[in-house]
Amino acid sequence: MVFVNDPIKYLDAVIRDLLTGWGLSNGLSTVIIYFIGITVLIIFAMVLDIFLVWVERKVVARFQDRLGPNRIGPFGIIQPFADIIKLIIKEDITPGGADKFLFNLGPVLAISSVIILWAILPISSKIFGVDLNVAVLYLVAAGALGTLSIIVGGWASNNKYALLGAFRMVANMISYEIPMVIALLIPTILADSMSVQGITQAQGGMWFAFLSPLALIIFLISAIAELGRSPFDLNEAESEIVAGFHIEYTGMKFGLFYAGELLHAFTFGGFIAVLFFGGYGGFFGLEKIGLFSWLSNPFVQAIVFLAKAMFGYWVIMWIKYSMPRIRIDHMLAFNWKFLTPLALVVLVNTAILGKVLAGFPNWIYVLGMFSSNIVIGFITIQILRIYGRKQRNTLLKNSSTNGKNQEQVA
Amino acid sequence: MTADRIIFLLTAGVILGSAIMVVVTRKLIHAALWLVAALFGVAILYGILQAGFLAVVQVVVYIGAIAILFIFAVMLTRKETLEKGTQTRPNWWLPGILGLIILIGLIILITGHIDFNRTAEQIPTNIDTLRLLGVALVSPDAFVLPFEIASVLLLAALVGAVFVASGKKE
């Protein structure tokens, strides 16, 4: 067992030897090793989070035709540490009417709802927290805790803007959970498994992004809604409700909400990579050729996974900084009248076509799946076009009759 | 004492404590959040019993949907009227005695059961319980009829809710 091929098992064996050598029982050393593993994973996620602050600020600057932080350190890479020091030395204020316990619980829940997602994130075939057989549902369950953190924080602040933000978040999350669950069912059906390792390994030959591009788009939209990022950032809409649910939070408590949001976005980038882009693998069978066998090394896989996750995160940032916020009734109508029916159609299509094409050669299966998605997408766009034209015609008719009325009045 | 037992005792303590806090606490929103803690504890119990699917569904359904709707409803009520006055009614002793009788009866029933002293068997790792559950839910000689009836019932509730919410159009 060499460190390079299976680092976790190797380290486990080394530490276990050490602990049992000190006279600890095997059971106790297992508990200690698990604690060390969990701590290391959380520290990795939080250190990555510090780096993400810099990435986010640099990328938003580029999207807005600015340079971004560039004074402290090369390319401004030490800027996040300056941010953290600023947040720590700021005064920590608890509003007079606030519910003290819940007010402090809000940010803790916000960051922990993200960190528990890292338990199932398959960083590589050998480096992962746990391979749950219900990982896809676990993702949805962790989202519920995120909603709870925003409700708790928004309510405990005893501020009407914060409460409004919390109300909006509930409406947002409860409705967008439905297309998200349906979109999550599609990789589950395609891989015939709910475990993230199983889904990753099922994409060794072909990414699910090609088998069901519509599911990818639906998942991306509902993931952004669940993150509460623009264009779905109604819970903190600065121009309407000042800062929404975290209006009363100062210093590091605000910092936890902020860090939680960034890490959440990156984690969802990771899940997009796992569910639709082959995760740490998905090299189309390249790693089986002798020359490229280094691709199945766990460290190479981890780098591939982080790169794919970063790409997903970049897409989420791209959408955030180029789209205006949508109105709440439009947001709900978009979900219930468009996204949910479309997700259901794609789900039924995937289930039926997957069984019909199962006996055919692989290229016919892939081509059939892909083209059926294109056909559904085309029909959707046609329906939207007809609907949009009808809306515009009624508006035109109304404005013309209004104009006539005004003329008559004049 | 094994690790499983320690986790069980801790979880059971948390569930009982939070369940008592649900009825004792004066603030309605705190009661709802203690309920979330109790439900989360039950999910951990399912996890100990190797029923991972049930544990996750417990969190998704009870915390993600029902508890959040509870909290949402509580937020819309006025808190001033609800945080004053006594928490007990004058005839509280009658349900108290009834509850105690039921508790004693349940303890006698459960301790008298044949399987009371049996330890749960470990499910072998090569058995995919999730797949078995899925097959059982749709196979005709298992649970397909109850499953479908529950689905139709939920659909009827959904249609009814939409009808009530949309109001009469004349």
- Please indicate whether residue A400 or residue B14 has the higher confidence score (pLDDT): B14
**A24 in reach of chain B (CB within 8 A):** no
For A148, the closest of B27, B36, B75 (CB atoms) is B36
Q: Is residue A331 domain-resident?
A: yes
pLDDT at B74 over 70: yes
Q: Is residue A366 domain-resident?
A: no
What is the total count of domains within chain B?
2
Q: Is residue B114 domain-resident?
A: no
| A64: confidence class by pLDDT, cuts 50, 70, 90 | confident
- Tens of pLDDT, residues A256-302: 888 888 898 999 999 999 888 888 877 777 777 777 777 778 888 88
**A144 in reach of chain B (CB within 8 A):** yes
ipTM of the complex as predicted: 0.76
Rounded to an integer, the average pLDDT of B80-108 is 81
A vs B, Cβ pairs < 8 A, gives 66
Mutate to test the interface with A, among B53, B60, B80, B154 (most CBs of A within 10 A): B60
Identify all chain B residues contacting A138, using CB atoms and an 8 Å cutoff. Answer: 56
3-state secondary structure chain A: CCCCCCHHHHHHHHHHHHHHHCCCCHHHHHHHHHHHHHHHHHHHHHHHHHHHHHHHHHHHHHHCCCCCCCCCCHHHCCHHHHHHHHHHHCCCCCCCCCCHHHHHHHHHHHHHHHHHHHHCCCCCCCCCCCCCCCHHHHHHHHHHHHHHHHHHHHHHCCCHHHHHHHHHHHHHHHHHHHHHHHHHHHHHHHHCCCCHHHHHHHCCCCCHHHHCHHHHHHHHHHHHHHHCCCCCHHHCCHHHHCCHHHCCCCHHHHHHHHHHHHHHHHHHHHHHHHHHCCCCCCCCCHHHCHHHHHHHCHHHHHHHHHHHHHHHHHHHHHHHCCCCCCCHHHHHHHHHHHHHHHHHHHHHHHHHHHHHHHHCCHHHHHHHHHHHHHHHHHHHHHHHHHHHHHHHHHHHHHHHHHHHHHHHHC
- Tens of pLDDT, residues A329-339: 888 888 888 88
**A133 in reach of chain B (CB within 8 A):** yes
pLDDT at A2 over 80: no
Q: Are residues A320 and A182 in the same domain?
A: yes
Q: Are residues A46 and A159 in the same domain?
A: no
Q: Are residues A307 and A267 in the same domain?
A: yes
Q: Are residues B23 and B75 in the same domain?
A: yes
- Please indicate whether residue B71 or residue A119 has the higher confidence score (pLDDT): A119
pLDDT at B153 over 80: yes
What is the total count of domains within chain A?
2
Q: Is residue B110 domain-resident?
A: no
Predicted local confidence at residue A1, as pLDDT: 57
- Please indicate whether residue B129 or residue A404 has the higher confidence score (pLDDT): B129
The predicted model scores a pTM of 0.85
Q: Residue A40 is part of which domain span?
A: 1-87
Q: Is residue A269 domain-resident?
A: yes
* Closest-CA distance of chain B to residue A137, Å: 7
**B56 in reach of chain A (CB within 8 A):** yes
| B169: confidence class by pLDDT, cuts 50, 70, 90 | low
Mutate to test the interface with A, among B56, B66, B72, B123 (most CBs of A within 10 A): B56
Contact B130 A152 (CB under 8 A): no
Q: Are residues A177 and A308 in the same domain?
A: yes
Predicted local confidence at residue A364, as pLDDT: 83
The domain that holds B55 is classified in CATH as 1.20.120.1200
Predicted local confidence at residue A232, as pLDDT: 82
Contact B53 A133 (CB under 8 A): yes
Q: Are residues B1 and B61 in the same domain?
A: yes
Contact A170 B130 (CB under 8 A): no
- Please indicate whether residue A192 or residue B43 has the higher confidence score (pLDDT): B43
pLDDT at A385 over 80: yes
pLDDT at A146 over 70: yes
Q: Residue B153 is part of which domain span?
A: 127-170
Among A57, A87, A117, the domain boundary falls at A87
Contact A174 B29 (CB under 8 A): no
Q: Is residue B92 domain-resident?
A: no
Q: Is residue B19 domain-resident?
A: yes
pLDDT at B106 over 90: yes
Q: Are residues B80 and B1 in the same domain?
A: yes
Among A28, A58, A87, the domain boundary falls at A87
Among A295, A316, A349, the domain boundary falls at A349
Q: Are residues A309 and A253 in the same domain?
A: yes
Rounded to an integer, the average pLDDT of A346-370 is 84
Predicted local confidence at residue B15, as pLDDT: 93
Identify all chain B residues contacting A137, using CB atoms and an 8 Å cutoff. Answer: 53, 56-57, 60
